[in-house]
Amino acid sequence: MATQYILALDQGTTSSRAILFDGNGQVVATGQREFQQIYPQPGWVEHDPEEIWQSVWHAIEECLGHASVSVDAITAIGITNQRETAVVWNKTTGRPVYNAIVWQCRRTADFLAELRSQDRVVDMIRQKTGLVIDAYFSASKVAWILDHVPDARSLAEAGQLVFGTIDSWLIYKLTGGTAHVTDYSNAARTLLYNIHTLSWDEELLTLFRIPPSMCPRVVDSSGVCALSSPGWLGREIPIAGIAGDQQAALFGQGCFRPGDVKNTYGTGSFLLMNTGSGPVASAHGLLTTIAWGLAGQITYALEGSIFITGAIVQWLRDQLQIIRRAEESEDLALSIDTTQGVYVVPALAGLGAPYWDSYARGTIIGLTRGTHRAHIVRAALESIAYQTRDVLDVMVQDTGNPVKTLRVDGGAIANRFLAQFQADILGRAVERPQVRETTAMGAAFLAGLATGMWPGFEPLEAVWRLDEVFTPKMTEQQREALYRGWLKAVDRARNWVDPA
Ligand code: ADP
Instruction: CATH number of the domain at 341, please.
Output: 3.30.420.40
**Looking at the structure, do residues 98 and 192 belong to the same domain, yes or no?**
yes
Higher per-residue confidence, 352 vs 246: 246
Atom of ligand 1 nearest to the CA of 12: 2
Residue 311 Cβ < 6 Å to ligand 1: yes
The answer, yes or no, to whether residue 204 has pLDDT greater than 90, is yes
Q: Is residue 337 classed exposed, middle or buried when 0-12, 13-18 and 19+ CB atoms within 10 A define those classes? A: exposed
Residue 443 in any domain: the answer is: no
The answer, yes or no, to whether residue 1 has pLDDT greater than 70, is no
- Cα(312) to centroid(ligand 1), Å: 9
The number of domains in the chain is 2
Predicted pLDDT of residue 299: 98
Mean pLDDT of 7-21: 95
Question: Helix, strand, or coil here: 6?
Answer: strand
**Looking at the structure, do residues 281 and 421 belong to the same domain, yes or no?**
yes
- Report how far Cα 287 is from the mean position of its chain's Cα atoms: 13
| Last-in-domain residue among 187, 211, 245 | 245
Residue 415 Cβ < 6 Å to ligand 1: yes
The answer, yes or no, to whether residue 260 has pLDDT greater than 90, is yes
Question: Helix, strand, or coil here: 168?
Answer: helix
The answer, yes or no, to whether residue 447 has pLDDT greater than 70, is yes
Residue 411 Cβ < 6 Å to ligand 1: yes
Residue 269 Cβ < 6 Å to ligand 1: no
Residue 346 Cβ < 6 Å to ligand 1: no
Predicted pLDDT of residue 293: 96
**Looking at the structure, do residues 378 and 311 belong to the same domain, yes or no?**
yes
- Cα(323) to centroid(ligand 1), Å: 14
- Cα(265) to centroid(ligand 1), Å: 7
- Which of 245, 267, 325, 376 maximizes ligand 1 atoms within 8 Å of its Cβ, making it the mutation to test the pocket? 267
- Cα(267) to centroid(ligand 1), Å: 6
Closest residue (by CA) to atom 21 of ligand 1?
Answer: 412
Residue 455 in any domain: the answer is: no
b/e string for 106-141 if b means 16 or more Cβ within 10 A? ebbeeebeeeeeeeebeeebbebbbbbbbbbbbbbb
Structural domain containing residue 145: 5-245
In 307-389, which ranges are E strands? 343-345, 363-365
Residue 267 Cβ < 6 Å to ligand 1: yes
At 357, the pLDDT band (50, 70, 90 cuts) reads confident
Could you give the strand order of the β-sheet that contains 161-165, starting from the edge strand earlier in sequence? 46-47, 100-101, 86-90, 161-165
Within a 13 Å sphere around the CA of 270, how many CA atoms are in the beta-carbon half? 20
Closest residue (by CA) to atom 9 of ligand 1?
Answer: 411
**Looking at the structure, do residues 309 and 396 belong to the same domain, yes or no?**
yes
Closest residue (by CA) to atom 14 of ligand 1?
Answer: 310
Within a 13 Å sphere around the CA of 237, how many CA atoms are in the beta-carbon half? 24
Higher per-residue confidence, 117 vs 339: 339
DSSP single-letter state for residue 351: B
- Which of 15, 312, 415, 418 maximizes ligand 1 atoms within 8 Å of its Cβ, making it the mutation to test the pocket? 415
At 290, the pLDDT band (50, 70, 90 cuts) reads very high
Mean pLDDT of 103-126: 90
The answer, yes or no, to whether residue 256 has pLDDT greater than 90, is yes
**Looking at the structure, do residues 237 and 273 belong to the same domain, yes or no?**
no
| Last-in-domain residue among 245, 270, 303 | 245
Atom of ligand 1 nearest to the CA of 268: 3
Task: Kindly report, residue by residue over 46-69, the tens digit of the pLDDT.
Answer: 999 999 999 999 999 999 999 988
**Looking at the structure, do residues 268 and 134 belong to the same domain, yes or no?**
no
**Looking at the structure, do residues 209 and 138 belong to the same domain, yes or no?**
yes
CA distance 195 to 289: 7
Residue 364 Cβ < 6 Å to ligand 1: no
Residue 322 Cβ < 6 Å to ligand 1: no
**Looking at the structure, do residues 262 and 239 belong to the same domain, yes or no?**
no
**Looking at the structure, do residues 180 and 296 belong to the same domain, yes or no?**
no
Predicted pLDDT of residue 404: 94
ω into residue 354 within 30 of 0, thus cis? yes
Residue 450 in any domain: the answer is: no
**Looking at the structure, do residues 290 and 361 belong to the same domain, yes or no?**
yes
Kindly list the distances between the CA atom of residue 462 and the CA atoms of 174, 250, 398, 426, in Å, as whole numbers in the listed order. Answer: 31, 16, 30, 27
Atom of ligand 1 nearest to the CA of 381: 25
β partners of residue 16: 11, 33
Residue 412 Cβ < 6 Å to ligand 1: yes
**Looking at the structure, do residues 306 and 224 belong to the same domain, yes or no?**
no
b/e string for 416-438 if b means 16 or more Cβ within 10 A? ebbbbbbbbbbebebbbbebbbb
| Last-in-domain residue among 227, 245, 263 | 245
pTM over 0.85: yes
The mean of the pLDDT values for the chain is: 95
Atom of ligand 1 nearest to the CA of 14: 4
**Looking at the structure, do residues 103 and 172 belong to the same domain, yes or no?**
yes
